[in-house]
Chains A and B, each alone.
Chain A
Amino acid sequence: MLLLIWKSLLHRRLQSLTIVGSIAVGAAIVFSILAVYNGVSSGMELSKQRMGADIVIVPFGETLEPSLLLFGGAAANSYMPKELVDGVRAVKGVHSVTPQFFTHSLSADCHDIGTKNRMIGYDPASDWILAPWLKKVHKTELKDDEVILGAKVPVWAQNKISILGKWYNIIAIAEETGTTLDYSLLVSMNEARRVVSGDRTLKKVWDKMGPPSGLISTILVKVDDDANIDKVVSDIQEVGLMKPIVAAEVKKRIADQFTVFAILIGGIGFLTVLTSLLHLFSRFYTLTWERQAEWGLYLAFGATGRDIGLVIVGEAAAVSLTGSIIGLLLGSGLYKGSLTLLEAYQSFPFVHPSWGFLASIAIGIIIVFTGLGALAAWLPAHQGSRIDPSTVMTRGEFD
């Protein structure tokens, strides 16, 4: 019977391919939407857990998009006086603050990292961001030749990395956070300042604002649980020329955008799937009648109505199965493509879905699409199984 199904599908090659194609498109859209949405959701959740800052304060003149600053790992070379930290710490409702100093890695020679990543110098006295990773490796702070790498920083050697011509010992590779930290190299504040002091392109900045030792790039702020965050932001702005970014608002905006995106693309995916199923139903409904004489012939051979139903459902399930498998291959390409496209447009917290999750949605899509395909052919199969066997004597030639 399997041979019969296979031969019949091959015989109606163009019709079969059309349905396989439309099912593949539907499956590809569903797969990529689920994968992207899962990555964003996980990123949102992780960034909430691990970023640990309610407000991120950057220098007043910073022009980068807040989302790029928080999640994109953009190399930002803008600075403000470190004295502002004490002013912010004194604001009512502020629970804790920690400054960071940014610069970036540049490819200096062939051993170097090869990509431009943000280098973050942290303050061991007040930090709570690196503390969990340092604790894991039984350290209290980083030495000047030690680095913790963000999860998405490329690594070429096992324990060492060359940055701007200097070799660093890799202490740990941080877990994915879905934030800018994933693209960052975390070093001590002193080391970051030492690295940046030699950068000739920033000489004009030091001439204007003073030496790097008196500057910081950002202040991360945690607020008290019962604090009014808008009031805290307003009070921070009174302290000096700074630009406070409320992380929750940025995340909410991104979440809203993704919800709209998911509804829009998901809607298109749903309509594609629905169209495929209607196409499948209509094809098998028509074929059931067109092939009455063929069913009659099988009945004359001794096939039962159930056998005829199985042939029809089997054909539908086979095209649905093929379509969903091809759709998964297309979907993985679509997932990567849409992710690249989305990242070019907007930085957002993103954690790549686990293989387990991808495997489970792949299996789910195969089962659901094959099942729906078989279901769409159920009525035609039911009618096919009830065809009068004597049609073989009365109907015209077969297709």
Chain B
Amino acid sequence: MNTLLELRNIEKKYGDDVILSKVSFTLTKGTAIAIIGHSGGGKTTLLSIMGLLQRATSGNVLVDAIDIGGLDSYQLAKLRGQYLGFVFQRARLINSLTALENVMAPAWFIRRGDNMEQQAKDLLERFGLSHRLDHKPQELSLGQLRRISLARALLLKPPILLADEPTNDLDPVLAKEVAECLLTARTEGAGVVIVTHDPNLANQADQTFRLEDGTLKPIVYNNAAS
């Protein structure tokens, strides 16, 4: 079974406002999906639903064939820890922690204690940050913060990686670097969902959708890159 994440007829309403309507798609292992659309169009809401951070008004979300509809908040938290990695729009690092500690933070809650520190160091080294392990976020550049955020998302080797505007505000060189890091996760079998405004990034995905008027429309099909 290659399906990691499946959305079936997802609908999301805030009061009378329909944000998402009949959204369906499937994310399989080793593939990347890009979702583009204008600001305020519901992309972040959709990503939140995929990330089990909020519930849809109707429809089904299945993670590794598990329908999350009947799960309570504790079970959802456990599922997030087991299956999902997030790269947020901003780096979202904890200012009181060093770069290394920020990368290790997810492991503190999931309690996968085996050699996590070494794995975190390896990731930071891979992203060229081995000399910044003990630096606090306020001592680092924007690009470094993004790479730390990415390392944090990859630490627990999540099967599903969700990225919200990962290249937003970055210069082209840095954006390319972050995109490469993100899409490399496909080679390790992860499914990647990227919400972006960046057409270059969207083009590198295996499949691209446009979120328009609450519905998801496939617009471009790229050749599989994995």
Number of chain A residues whose Cβ lies closer than 8 Å to a Cβ of chain B: 31
Is A10 among interface residues, defined by CB-CB distance under 8 A? yes
Q: Across the two chains, which residue of chain A brings its CB closest to B86?
A: A300
A397 CA to B137 CA, complexed, in Å: 12
> Is B86 touching A4 in the complex (CB atoms < 8 A)?
no
> Is B77 touching A399 in the complex (CB atoms < 8 A)?
no
With a CB–CB cut-off of 8 A, which chain B residues contact A300? 51, 53, 80, 84, 86
> Is B78 touching A397 in the complex (CB atoms < 8 A)?
no
> Is B77 touching A392 in the complex (CB atoms < 8 A)?
no
Of the four ranges (under 10, 10 to 19, 20 to 34, 35 or more), the interface on chain B belongs to: 20 to 34
A393 contact from B47, B74, B80, B94, Cβ within 8 A? B47
A293 CA to B73 CA, complexed, in Å: 17
Q: Pick out which of these stretches binds chain B: A79-87, A189-197, A303-311.
A: A303-311
- In B73-120, the 8 Å CB interface with A consists of 73-74, 77-78, 80-82, 84, 86, 88-90, 92-97, 101, 105-106, 108-110
Is B6 among interface residues, defined by CB-CB distance under 8 A? no
A398 CA to B96 CA, complexed, in Å: 10
Is A294 among interface residues, defined by CB-CB distance under 8 A? yes
> Is B54 touching A7 in the complex (CB atoms < 8 A)?
no
> Is A301 touching B92 in the complex (CB atoms < 8 A)?
no
A304 CA to B82 CA, complexed, in Å: 13
Chain B's nearest CB lies how many Å from the CB of A77? 69
Number of CB contacts from chain A to chain B under 8 A: 90
| Majority DSSP secondary structure for residues of A touching B | helix
Chain B's nearest CB lies how many Å from the CB of A44? 52
With a CB–CB cut-off of 8 A, which chain A residues contact B109? 1, 298, 301-304, 307
A239 CA to B135 CA, complexed, in Å: 90
Q: A304 and B78 in contact (CB under 8 A), knowing A392-B53, A394-B44?
A: yes
With a CB–CB cut-off of 8 A, which chain A residues contact B110? 301-302
A residues sitting closer than 8 Å to B (CB atoms) are 1, 3-4, 7-8, 10-12, 293-294, 296-307, 388-390, 392-394, 397-399
B residues sitting closer than 8 Å to A (CB atoms) are 44, 47-48, 51-54, 73-74, 77-78, 80-82, 84, 86, 88-90, 92-97, 101, 105-106, 108-110, 164
